[in-house]
Amino acid sequence: MAEVPEIELTDPAVLSDPFTAYRRARERSPVVRLVTPGFGAMWAVTRHAPARTLLTDPRFELRAESYLRPSVPEAYRPYLRTMEIDGPEHGRLRRLVAPAFTARRAADRRTRIEAVVAGLLDDAARQATDGVVDLVAHLARPLPTAVICDLVGVPEADRPQWRAFGAAVAAGDGPTFVAALPAIIDSARSVVAQRREAPGDDLVTDLIRVRDDDGDRLSETELVSLVWHLVLAGQTPANLLANAVETLLAHPEQLAALRAEPDLMPRAVEELTRWSPPQMLTVPRFATGEVTIDGVPVPAGEPVTVAVVAANRDPEVFPDPDRLDLARVPDRSAHLGYGHGPHFCLGAALARVQTEVALTALLRRSPDLALAPAGAHRAPDPGTWRLLTLPVQL
């Protein structure tokens, strides 16, 4: 067996161009070692076929150690458990919320999403300085927050604080997020209480009915936990949208093709998700025994992740994978931008619709859209591919 390559996650070359670093590693081995000084190492699967297999393999499990478990007061700890469950318990909770996130329900919300996008772009134009505005701050971040709050049932008056919570998460600042967690959980309790008092056409109202009619299916703690997890997780399409705009501006020939043929948009969103995935590494799973992945032995108890950034450009699955091709015939089951298996992103359909609507409106309203001279600023984050700012000329 060839020596397993190592990737140092804090290497500036890796942070600035992970696609090249992981491509070179993938060419050498289906599995690599990811090393972070001071934090140990974990295994990463780089090729598409073993990556899909791992994400459905019961020999790899999510554990409490898969997450950076925040330190919060004892009274709030039960509300963190939803982060760590797997297997049948995860399946039970997922089935309760899944009906709100189907492709049909996402399509039904398109008109409401279009109205939100129109309002955000109107506001962006008003706040632009010499025609320049930061699309991260004025479109990519606020859009998913508005959409998920509407779907879940967060009252309008409470949404500014959830935007602030989402900003704490998006900043990648662990201590800030941990400090905010008690307020986040208290706000989720408040959402449940308000929807009990005034039911609406939303997910929380539906879950309250489940809870109150059949408490064996959903406990009060689980209900509150689902609310805060769903609202915060629902804000992650911000990275997808910002990456998509930056990628299009860096590929003017592809942008021109999309402008010339707007019906390409659904296909374009799939390709943009594949080519520039917001999540570069999946949540690590732990081997329950020694497992061999494409000839590489992984000892029992060690963490393993999928390098989405590598698997999404595997030439065995995607011809000419490093080329952005918005006309590429999509296979939604192929790229791993939304994960795979039991933990496939619940909000994938909603993320697709939001991104399609936002890009369509932005390109229609800004025919001369261009990156501003200041340039985009990307976070040095080995786990996510995300922009901190995206100043554009509208």
Structure tokens at 73: 């007061």
What's the confidence (pLDDT) of residue 258? 97
What's the confidence (pLDDT) of residue 74? 80
User: How open is the CA angle 47-52-53, to the nearest 5 degrees?
Assistant: 105
What sections of 98-202 are H helices per DSSP?
A: 103-108, 110-127, 135, 142-152, 159-170, 174-197
* Cβ atoms 230, 203 nearer than 8 A: yes
Mean pLDDT of the chain, nearest integer:
90
If we measure between CA atoms, which residue out of 36, 40, 39, 30 comes closest to residue 5? Answer: 30
What's the confidence (pLDDT) of residue 106? 93
If we measure between CA atoms, which residue out of 193, 176, 184 comes closest to residue 225? Answer: 184
If we measure between CA atoms, which residue out of 144, 168, 136, 171 comes closest to residue 244? Answer: 136
Structure tokens at 250: 């860096």
Specify the 3-state DSSP secondary structure of 384.
Answer: strand
* Cβ atoms 393, 369 nearer than 8 A: yes
What's the confidence (pLDDT) of residue 335? 94
If we measure between CA atoms, which residue out of 278, 224, 252 comes closest to residue 78? Answer: 224
C-alpha 249/C-alpha 236 separation (Å) is 21
What's the confidence (pLDDT) of residue 84? 57
Residue with the two structure tokens 């039960």: 78
Tens of pLDDT, residue by residue over 213-225, are 776 688 889 899 9
Percentage of the chain exceeding pLDDT 90: 69
Tens of pLDDT, residue by residue over 47-98, are 999 999 999 999 998 876 666 666 777 888 888 776 556 778 888 888 888 8
What's the confidence (pLDDT) of residue 347? 92
Tens of pLDDT, residue by residue over 138-147, are 999 999 999 9
Structure tokens at 63: 């554990």
Specify the 3-state DSSP secondary structure of 297.
Answer: strand
C-alpha 55/C-alpha 345 separation (Å) is 12
What's the confidence (pLDDT) of residue 9? 94
* DSSP codes, 203-245: HHHHHHHHHHH-TTT--HHHHHHHHHHHHHHTTTHHHHHHHHH
If we measure between CA atoms, which residue out of 364, 337, 118 comes closest to residue 239? Answer: 337
Tens of pLDDT, residue by residue over 297-352, are 999 999 999 999 999 999 999 999 999 999 998 776 689 999 998 888 989 999 99
Lowest mean pLDDT among 10-14, 98-102, 133-137: 98-102
What's the confidence (pLDDT) of residue 170? 67
H or E element, residue 7? strand 6-8
C-alpha 361/C-alpha 117 separation (Å) is 7
C-alpha dihedral, 202 to 207 to 209 to 215, nearest 10°: -170
Percentage of the chain exceeding pLDDT 70: 94
* Cβ atoms 386, 170 nearer than 8 A: yes
C-alpha 119/C-alpha 109 separation (Å) is 16
**The pLDDT of residue 39 is above 80:** no
Specify the 3-state DSSP secondary structure of 66.
Answer: helix
366, HSE (Cβ side, Cα atoms, 13 Å): 25
Pairing between β-strand 31-36 and β-strand 6-8 as defined by DSSP bridges: parallel
C-alpha 239/C-alpha 232 separation (Å) is 13
If we measure between CA atoms, which residue out of 198, 197, 195 comes closest to residue 207? Answer: 195
Tens of pLDDT, residue by residue over 157-188, are 999 899 888 877 766 656 777 788 889 999 99
Sheet strand arrangement including 31-36: 6-8, 31-36, 40-45, 303-306, 285-287, 60-61
Residue with the two structure tokens 């594949």: 274
